[in-house]
């Protein structure tokens, strides 16, 4: 059974057109779109024509260099929007292609013994308060009170209002 769909319109010039757009700072996907090449078509071409990968890898470096040159120029006082430049530099690494199209991505999984789940021991600490000296008990008391402090702060204004009412009543 033969291939389905339209015949491929791959040419080295089509890859060069994508690379030219990337040299202007565009991501792989945006450059392909601007060059009139669909994303899935481009990825298929990269798989079918390994020689085109080197052209695209060089273009990816050029795209990053384009953004970095803008960042350097802005840092030296030339006009430019630093937020947009920062976004452009970061997006080169976040592109859907991940700069690793073509099998360069590595996946790592962690497992426990014999491929099972990783065992995590839960440890509970029991404090024998009777064995603590006075300073240690005071430190423990302060720690326990600190954990309840937000609740006490929320409740404090209501207690203050009641006390103020009591003060007003006794003054009358």
Q: Which position has the token pair 């360069």?
A: 104
Tens of pLDDT, residues 73-94: 888 888 888 888 887 777 765 5
Listed residues 81, 101, 121: the one ending a domain: 101
Q: What is the pLDDT of residue 135?
A: 94
* 139 has a pLDDT exceeding 50: yes
Asked if the structure places residue 148 within a domain, the reply is: yes
Round to whole Å and give the CA distance between 127 and 134. 14
Judge whether 55 and 19 are in contact, CB under 8 Å. yes
Q: Which CATH number is 35's domain given?
A: 1.10.10.60
Asked if the structure places residue 47 within a domain, the reply is: yes
Judge whether 59 and 18 are in contact, CB under 8 Å. yes
Q: Domain span at residue 35?
A: 12-101
Q: What is the pTM of this model?
A: 0.50
Judge whether 62 and 70 are in contact, CB under 8 Å. no
DSSP class per residue in 110-124: ---GGG-PPP-----
* 2 has a pLDDT exceeding 50: no
Which residue, among 78, 60, 58, has the nearest Cα to 69 in the 3D structure? Answer: 78
Dihedral angle of Cα 54, 25, 67, 105, to the nearest 10 degrees: -40
Asked if the structure places residue 26 within a domain, the reply is: yes
Asked if the structure places residue 86 within a domain, the reply is: yes
């Amino acid at each position: 059974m033969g291939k389905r769909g339209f015949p491929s319109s791959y040419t080295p010039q089509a890859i060069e057109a994508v690379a030219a757009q990337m040299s202007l700072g565009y991501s792989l996907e945006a450059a392909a779109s601007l060059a009139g090449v669909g994303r899935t078509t481009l990825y298929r071409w990269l798989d079918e024509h390994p020689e085109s990968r080197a052209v695209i890898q060089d273009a990816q470096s050029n795209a990053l260099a384009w953004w970095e040159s803008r960042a350097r120029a802005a840092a030296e006082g030339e006009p430019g929007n630093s937020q947009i430049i920062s976004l452009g530099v970061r997006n080169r690494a976040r592109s859907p292609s991940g700069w690793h199209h073509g099998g360069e991505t590595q996946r790592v999984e962690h497992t426990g013994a014999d491929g099972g789940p990783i065992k995590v021991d839960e440890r509970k600490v029991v404090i024998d308060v009777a064995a603590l000296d006075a300073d240690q008990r005071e430190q423990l008391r302060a720690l326990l009170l600190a954990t309840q402090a937000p609740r006490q702060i929320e409740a404090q204004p209501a207690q203050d209002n009641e006390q103020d009412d009591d003060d007003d009543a006794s003054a009358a």
